A and B are shown apart, each in its own frame.
Chain A
Amino acid sequence: MKRLSLTLAVCLTGSATLAAEVAPKDVQFDEDGAVAASLTGTPGDAASGAIIAGTKSLGNCVACHQLTALADVPFHGEIGPSLDGAGDRWTEAELRGLMTNAKMTFEGTMMPAFYKVEGFIRPGAAYTGKAPTEALTPILSAQEIEDVIAFIATLKEE
């Protein structure tokens, strides 16, 4: 009975947070570029985040960052800093800010904003090279971003 009511509570929370998902334009950054509030209210799944971080069509974090935890994924880039130990260097709120729009933390950074849908020069329809025919969607969904945050948070110094 206890377990049942707990499950029920999770279900209710789940449906409540779906409605409460923060839209890209509504994300609140603090003065250092961190984002305190979860984008979904649902805790991130680190295992899913690891897959997103290593998959070219998703986060593709390894395009620019070295990441020992994903050593089985070939070809890590060197553009950005290594993410080893990033879970010790950054809080969850800071990681959320970096994932959402890193330019709010580091002005002029090359890192793309993964949860932003407006304010671009000549945005295209994904990688087609053509003009978009409908509203842009963010590169990653709100929950995918929470999953990546959960994954990066597990990357501790040795």
Chain B
Amino acid sequence: MNYKALTAIAVALSLPLSAHADADDDTLVLNEEETLVTKTAAPAHLSDVMDEVMSGWHFRSDETQALQMDDFENPAMVFVDKAFDAWNTVEGTEEKSCASCHDDVEESMAGVRAVYPKWNEQAGEVRTLAMQVNDCRENQMGAKAWKYTGGDMTAMEALISVQSRGMPVNVAIDGPVQSVWEQGKEMYYARTGQLELSCANCHEDSYGLMIRADHLSQGQINGFPTYRLKNAKLNNVHARFKGCVRDTRAETYKPGSADFVALELYVASRGNGLAVEGPSVRN
């Protein structure tokens, strides 16, 4: 065996061993009161590829982390307040607000974020939180659907997420959602675009490492919607997926499409056990 072959093998062997070292060991304490689970044993369906799942919070700087630890510092909370007003605002031909049916958001929406996307028996489909919000608007309120990735929608997602903060993500992957979950899993490992990169290339095989100036996380979505310092607004999961897929030099999927719903279900399930953090703060 020549030197080059040896080097090649050494490189191939050393990559998986040297990776994954770089998430920090900080503790996410919210408002000096509640400690959130940001690292936990990987769910059973992931146990052959990783031992531990970690929130993206661990891959960010101390300064960015601090913004999420105090609701008075968290820039996303402005949008939560805005959505709280929207929750109580009557709209549409039925002259209803969200509160008309769901009363107090703090009670009715507690635990909801943690289990989405989920199967809707009546509709016979997997629904994201955003899809459910728009279904309510169109079919219960007689109001216009919000743009899937727009500010009204991401704010409402944030308001609903806050009611589940600290609860473990617990997305079902079997029963009626199983085929959609399998589709999402296939997408996660598909190497798309001219750069031929899958979600897994960066977020399963290389988390903890730097790609140029970016610290690669596990790509967990327990913190969504997330306020990104980069664009100074709330971003929902499909908007973020779109950016990632675009950056592989691929034709993206459409936010709200069945494809992204499947991918969201699968990616959410990779974070089963982590605390709901939304709205989080990231780069």
Q: Which residues of A contact B (CB under 8 A)?
A: 56, 60, 62-64, 74-79, 81, 89-90, 94, 103, 105-106, 110, 112-113, 116, 120-132, 136, 139
| Pair B206/A110 contact, Cβ less than 8 Å | yes
Q: In the complex the two chains form, is A89's CB within 8 Å of B251's CB?
A: no
Contacts of A64 in B (CB 8 A): 211-212
Residues in B with CB closer than 8 Å to A60 are 212
Nearest 9 CB-CB pairings of A with B: A129-B246, A75-B213, A129-B252, A112-B195, A63-B212, A124-B251, A78-B209, A131-B251, A122-B250
A89 to B5, CA, bound (A): 10
- Residues 64-94 (chain B) with a chain A CB within 8 angstroms: none
List 28 A-B residue pairs with CB atoms under 8 Å apart, sorted by A's residue number: A63-B212, A74-B213, A75-B210, A75-B212, A77-B212, A89-B3, A90-B4, A112-B197, A116-B194, A120-B194, A121-B190, A121-B191, A122-B193, A122-B250, A123-B193, A123-B250, A124-B193, A124-B246, A124-B252, A125-B251, A126-B249, A129-B250, A129-B251, A129-B252, A130-B252, A139-B194, A139-B195, A139-B249
Write out the residue numbers on chain A whose beta carbons fall within 8 Å of the beta carbon of B49. Answer: none
**A48–B212 Cα gap in the complex (Å)?**
21
Residues of B within 8 A of A (CB): 3-4, 7-8, 11-12, 190-197, 201, 205-206, 209-213, 242, 245-247, 249-252
Task: Report the bound CA distance from A63 to B8 in whole Å.
Answer: 20
Question: Across the interface, which residues of A come within 8 angstroms of B12, CB to CB?
Answer: 106
| Distance from A88 Cβ to chain B, minimum over Cβ atoms (Å) | 9
Q: Is the interface of A mostly helix, strand, loop or mixed?
A: loop
Whose C-beta in chain B lies nearest to the C-beta of A125?
Answer: B251
Residues on A with beta carbons closer than 8 Å to the beta carbon of B213: 74-75
Contacts of A105 in B (CB 8 A): 8
Q: Are A94 and B251 in contact (CB under 8 A)?
A: no
Give the distance in Å from the alpha carbon of A130 to the alpha carbon of B242 in the complex: 11
- Cβ of A112: which chain B residues have Cβ within 8 Å of it? 194-197
Across the interface, do B201 and A110 meet the contact criterion of CB distance under 8 Å? yes
Contacts of B210 in A (CB 8 A): 75-79
Chain B residues with Cβ under 8 A from A94's Cβ?
A: 4
B residues near A139, Cβ cutoff 8 Å: 194-195, 249
Q: Which residues of the partner chain B approach A136 to less than 8 Å between Cβ atoms?
A: 194
Residues of the B chain whose Cβ atoms lie less than 8 Å from the Cβ of A124: 193-194, 246, 249-252
CB neighbours of A128 from chain B (8 A): 246
Given the complex, which residues of B lie within 8 Å of A56, measured CB to CB? Answer: 212
Residues on B with beta carbons closer than 8 Å to the beta carbon of A63 = 211-212
- Min CB distance A137 to B, Å, is 9
